[in-house]
């Protein structure tokens, strides 16, 4: 029974490299240092998110609905996946998330929302 190729080291969490390939038909083995695909370095949670995102053809509203998360959370998870795959994430998006965090903390400090609500809103940004 074949198992999925782990992309991350279970000890330190760093990306793994493939060093041995085997043909199960003729039993040929090739050893070396091979590059994994960009998806192999994603965590199981990130892979699940990508699967849901693709299944919903990139429609963020449908991803929100299926995963039960907010728009900022979808965007944040997408940014995390992009970074994990080695792509640059737009700094303007990061600035927007930082602005939203400050706004939530301001609401909390003014007593406009409670601590539980603030925690939920902040988690939704991740």
pLDDT of 27-64, one tens digit each? 999 999 887 788 888 888 999 999 999 999 999 999 99
Closest CA to 78 of 123, 105, 48: 48
Q: What is the mean pLDDT of residues 2-19?
A: 83
What is the rounded average pLDDT for all residues in the chain? 87
What's the pLDDT score for residue 59? 93
- Separation of CA 97 from chain center: 16
Q: Please give the Cα distance from 32 to 83 (Å, whole number).
A: 27
Residue 84 confidence (pLDDT) above 80: yes
Model pTM greater than 0.75? no
Give me the residue spans of the domains in the chain: 41-125
Q: Please give the Cα distance from 7 to 24 (Å, whole number).
A: 21
Closest CA to 50 of 36, 65, 67: 67
Give the residue with greater pLDDT, 5 vs 111: 111
Q: Which residues contact 23 (CB under 8 A, 6 or more apart)?
A: 29
Q: Please give the Cα distance from 67 to 69 (Å, whole number).
A: 6
What's the pLDDT score for residue 93? 67
């Amino acid at each position: 029974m074949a198992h999925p190729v782990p992309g991350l080291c279970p000890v330190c969490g760093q990306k793994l490299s493939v060093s041995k390939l085997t043909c199960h038909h003729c039993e040929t083995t090739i050893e070396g240092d091979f590059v994994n695909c960009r998806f192999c370095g994603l965590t199981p949670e990130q892979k699940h998110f990508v699967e849901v995102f693709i299944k919903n053809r990139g429609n963020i509203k449908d991803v929100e609905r299926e995963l039960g998360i907010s728009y900022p959370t979808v965007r944040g998870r997408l940014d995390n996946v992009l970074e994990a795959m080695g792509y640059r994430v737009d700094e303007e998006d990061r600035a927007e998330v930082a602005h939203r965090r400050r706004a939530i903390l301001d609401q909390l400090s003014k007593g406009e929302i409670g601590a539980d609500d603030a925690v939920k809103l902040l988690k939704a940004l991740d």
